[in-house]
Structure 1
Amino acid sequence: MVEELAQAEDAIAACADAAAWALPEQELIAALDAAHRIEQRLAAVTLALVRELDGRGTARTQGASSTAVWLRERLHLTIPAARRLVDLAAALDAAPPAVRDALAAGTVTAEQARVITDTIGAVAASAGAEAADKAVGVLVQWAGQFDPTLLRKLGTRILDHVAPEAADAVAAAALKAETDRAARDRHLTISERTDGRLRLSGILDTETAGLLRAAIDPLTVPTGPDDARNPGQRRHDALADVCRLALRTGELPDNGGDPAQIVVTTSYDGLTRQLGSGSLDIGPQLTPETVRRLACDAAILPAVLGSASQPLDVGRQRRLITGPLRRALVLRDRGCAFPGCDRPPRWCDAHHIHHWADGGTTTLHNAVLLCGHHHRHLHHTDWVVRLGGDGHPEFVPPAWLDPDQIPRRNQYHRRT
């Protein structure tokens, strides 16, 4: 075998030195097919050698703790790659000869062989050896058409082809086991960091994962060509929008006798002079800009204290843009009014154009609908919003963006 492999190595070296650019296209494609086939056939040889060495205990004889560790040093592989090699060699050794023959003939790839051995193992356990033997032929045939990922998906329904009488029962049992495992493993961990931020981690069951994706996916689309947020930041902001919507519905259960809400505590002087920071009732501090933005958010209940800590305002209803006034605002703006945004009204806050903290009134002429992203953007940048002569909102860009500062309007929400 060593001599024959040496001859094969010489032939491959000759091919490596050949000028591929000189080949006609059809020969180039044929050479690619041949090289790929030889690669799989060599994989079959490699796996047979690995299995024999593992069975003999060569690794331990040479001082290694396992065959995988020995392969890492011998072939300069990573430990995960070496373990996969050892595992596949063992799986092929235990599989029906047809699988090894297919790999040795180059008709399946090593990754496809891995999928086939995994699948027939599951079939044998659920429907017996006879069904597993039938599954080999079907899977090898499918391997000529499908990549390993799709082959694995198709393999989940292999019993429909080789043992239809057992397929439904096995599928039902597998689904129940998967459902039980998902219910057992579901969890959400919220870890508070020292700076007030939270770290989320967990595993969602299939239904909850579907609910989450359905809720946040429509909100993760970039809001326009100037949206510089990365995908992770967009998902973060989408989750925040979903939470705002849930708070706005008023249908969440009470928490300690009060409606579900955020309470922001700040000093009145600090709020009006745009200097004071604030804090949430759960402790974390907020910047003055964030406090002012939350102070005009219809979904937020602020708690504003005077110098002696007396409550001057705890979400006066006359300040909040709710009821008929919000409905009139929705009829006027039809959604987020910021140029280029298509967020619908239910995802929007009602923003005071002249800030409530500065004495602004709660009227239709002093309000505009903004989605969460653009509400933050307006509070933290030099954009200016105002009502045009026709009573509709228009936004004046900062001078660095448009030296002429030509007012812009949202064109997504059609008005009749």
Structure 2
Amino acid sequence: MCSTGCETPLECLTGALRALSGQDLTSSFGPAMLERAGVLARARNVLAADLARTVRECELTQAPEHDGKATMASWLRGHHRLPQAVASQLVRTGRALQQLPALAAAAAEGVVPPEAVAVIAPVASEVNVARAQAQGVDLPEIDALLTEIAATRPHADLRQAVGHYLDRLDPDGTEPDPTGQRSIFFSKHTDGTLSFHGRLDAIGGEKFQAAIESILQASRPAGDLRTRAQQAGDALVQLCDNALASGNLPVLRGHKPHVVVTIDLDDLVDPHPGAGAARTGFGGIISAAKARWLACDGNVTRIVIGPDGQPLDVGRSKRLFPPHLRRAVETRDQHCVFAGCDAPSWWCDIHHLVHWADGGDTSLENSGLLCERHHTKVHHGFRIERQPDGRWRTYRPDGTEILVLDPFLIPA
């Protein structure tokens, strides 16, 4: 098949990929790297198209049955650990390339990326093909037109063109069910962080933006250096905190939904950060420092584990700050006590000034209200302190105090 003696194209491809991955790029010149990136980008498009074509052939021949799987999507998830959304999109892409020969040829040449094919794929769905035939639409012409746009125009233009075509295809159709237009996909990373992406219908998106914007605008403490994207991320977490604290969410696994963290007692009381010391209920790995922060205001359950890893004894869950004590703290502090922040009490956790794991009491004197953002700050070097006169003071990790300018003391 080639000069290296490969017997199949797949063997040639595997050898070429190994050779590419083994090349040293550190001493390469900029223009040469740009040329390499361009060639690889086009090769990626070709590989993606051939993978989709192969997935379609496997689907037509019921190949996944060979490995005990009912569908190609489930085979891709199980055997190649692809996320559900990616596996399903591969299947749809394969079907689209079979229906749209002009698009398939351009994808095979590498001039159309897989993301563009995914945008065009709905054109080839059974329902849209049937509508096109009923209205006398020349599907090959649409195929050629959209392929040209995908190969020569910005991605946003392609999205607009496809949307326009689909809208014109069914101008008087029934209003789509908004629940069918909503989806969110989650991806957990090794450090416990979570990535997600999704899509909402127009009204659902408006509700989402309105909820986030209301919290974002209400939580802008003095000296806030966060970007708008960071503010929006914090607002989303605050929205979740509010919903969880309300107690009105549906029962999950027999209990009210809550954040679950499992950590060894020795790691919890160790003052060092302790990376990867705790595990969350949904499988995330977090540090002991984060677990200490979450343990400030929550339920604690003691579980004794035997030498073989099996639970020997489970104690009763204990609420660190019972409702009557929380009401007392809220009445006293009113809002987040971190300098320059006035986040309302219902957004706040109760922070142990001296952590209970270090012998601190769960009492009014050893507690203070902190919003989620500033609670994190206090567990990463910042410090709050209540004075005998009832005023709160906030200190940076270097010991300097954060002072908020009093408007009444500004000279005229």
| Alpha-carbon contact 2:349-2:371 (below 8 Å) kept | yes
1:394 aligns with 2:393: yes
| Alpha-carbon contact 1:220-1:238 (below 8 Å) kept | yes
- Describe how 1:12-91 pairs up with structure 2 within 5 A: 79-80=152-153
Distance of 2:262 and 2:155 partners within structure 1: 58
The structure that has the greater radius of gyration is 1
Judged with a 3 Å threshold, the aligned counterparts in structure 2 of structure 1 residues 197 and 360 are, in CA distance, closer, same or farther, namely: same
Partner of 2:185 in structure 1? 189
Distance of 2:356 and 2:228 partners within structure 1: 33
| Alpha-carbon contact 1:186-1:203 (below 8 Å) kept | yes
Partner of 2:211 in structure 1? 215
Distance of 1:82 and 1:189 partners within structure 2: 22
Per-residue CA shift, 1:76-116, capped at 9, x if unaligned? Answer: xx8117997xx99xxxxxxxxxxxxxxxxxxxxxxxxxxxx
Q: Quick one: percent identity of the two aligned structures?
A: 29
Partner of 1:364 in structure 2? 364
Cα shift at 1:324: 2.0
Distance of 1:302 and 1:294 partners within structure 2: 10
Distance of 1:246 and 1:311 partners within structure 2: 32
Judged with a 3 Å threshold, the aligned counterparts in structure 2 of structure 1 residues 183 and 343 are, in CA distance, closer, same or farther, namely: same
Select the residue among 316, 325, 331 that pairs with 2:318: 316
Partner of 2:383 in structure 1? 384
Cα shift at 1:188: 1.6
Cα shift at 1:205: 2.4
Distance of 1:360 and 1:81 partners within structure 2: 60
Distance of 2:204 and 2:372 partners within structure 1: 24
Judged with a 3 Å threshold, the aligned counterparts in structure 2 of structure 1 residues 345 and 333 are, in CA distance, closer, same or farther, namely: same
Partner of 2:246 in structure 1? 249
Partner of 1:270 in structure 2? 267
Give the residue type in structure 2 aligned to 1:215.
A
Partner of 1:206 in structure 2? 202
Cα shift at 1:190: 1.8
Distance of 1:393 and 1:290 partners within structure 2: 24
Cα shift at 1:332: 1.4
Distance of 2:244 and 2:145 partners within structure 1: 54
Cα shift at 1:408: 4.6
Judged with a 3 Å threshold, the aligned counterparts in structure 2 of structure 1 residues 409 and 294 are, in CA distance, closer, same or farther, namely: farther
1:330 aligns with 2:330: yes
Helix, strand or coil at the partner of 1:241? helix
Cα shift at 1:313: 5.9
Helix, strand or coil at the partner of 1:279? strand
Judged with a 3 Å threshold, the aligned counterparts in structure 2 of structure 1 residues 297 and 408 are, in CA distance, closer, same or farther, namely: farther
Cα shift at 1:306: 4.9
Distance of 1:332 and 1:297 partners within structure 2: 17
Give the residue type in structure 2 aligned to 1:280.
T
Q: TM-score, normalised by structure 1?
A: 0.52
| Alpha-carbon contact 2:190-2:284 (below 8 Å) kept | no
| Alpha-carbon contact 2:352-2:360 (below 8 Å) kept | yes
Cα shift at 1:377: 1.0
Cα shift at 1:351: 0.8
Give the residue type in structure 1 aligned to 2:282.
I
Cα shift at 1:349: 0.8
| Alpha-carbon contact 1:271-1:357 (below 8 Å) kept | yes
Judged with a 3 Å threshold, the aligned counterparts in structure 2 of structure 1 residues 340 and 410 are, in CA distance, closer, same or farther, namely: farther
Give the residue type in structure 1 aligned to 2:213.
D
Select the residue among 224, 232, 250 that pairs with 2:229: 232
Per-residue CA shift, 1:200-256, capped at 9, x if unaligned? Answer: 121112333233223221333473454333222222221111111111111112212
Judged with a 3 Å threshold, the aligned counterparts in structure 2 of structure 1 residues 310 and 339 are, in CA distance, closer, same or farther, namely: farther
| Alpha-carbon contact 1:337-1:369 (below 8 Å) kept | yes
Q: TM-score, normalised by structure 2?
A: 0.52
Helix, strand or coil at the partner of 2:318? coil
Instruction: Give aligned pairs, total.
Output: 254
Helix, strand or coil at the partner of 1:385? strand
Partner of 1:373 in structure 2? 373
Segments of 5+ residues of structure 2 without an aligned counterpart are: 1-140, 408-412
| Alpha-carbon contact 2:191-2:286 (below 8 Å) kept | no
Distance of 1:81 and 1:391 partners within structure 2: 60
Judged with a 3 Å threshold, the aligned counterparts in structure 2 of structure 1 residues 223 and 313 are, in CA distance, closer, same or farther, namely: farther
Partner of 2:341 in structure 1? 341
Judged with a 3 Å threshold, the aligned counterparts in structure 2 of structure 1 residues 390 and 279 are, in CA distance, closer, same or farther, namely: same
More helix by share: 1
Partner of 1:56 in structure 2? none
Give the residue type in structure 2 aligned to 1:386.
E
Distance of 2:267 and 2:363 partners within structure 1: 24
| Alpha-carbon contact 2:305-2:313 (below 8 Å) kept | no
Distance of 1:411 and 1:205 partners within structure 2: 46
Q: Compute the RMSD of aligned alpha carbons.
A: 4.1
| Alpha-carbon contact 1:182-1:205 (below 8 Å) kept | yes
Cα shift at 1:368: 0.7
Partner of 2:46 in structure 1? none
Cα shift at 1:393: 2.8
Helix, strand or coil at the partner of 2:343? coil
Helix, strand or coil at the partner of 2:186? strand
| Alpha-carbon contact 1:263-1:280 (below 8 Å) kept | yes
Judged with a 3 Å threshold, the aligned counterparts in structure 2 of structure 1 residues 362 and 379 are, in CA distance, closer, same or farther, namely: same
Partner of 1:17 in structure 2? none
Select the residue among 245, 256, 259 that pairs with 2:256: 259
| Alpha-carbon contact 1:336-1:371 (below 8 Å) kept | yes
Segments of 5+ residues of structure 1 without an aligned counterpart are: 1-65, 73-77, 89-117, 127-169
Judged with a 3 Å threshold, the aligned counterparts in structure 2 of structure 1 residues 83 and 245 are, in CA distance, closer, same or farther, namely: closer
| Alpha-carbon contact 2:351-2:367 (below 8 Å) kept | yes
Per-residue CA shift, 1:153-210, capped at 9, x if unaligned? Answer: xxxxxxxxxxxxxxxxx9xx68x63xx1644322122233344332212111233323
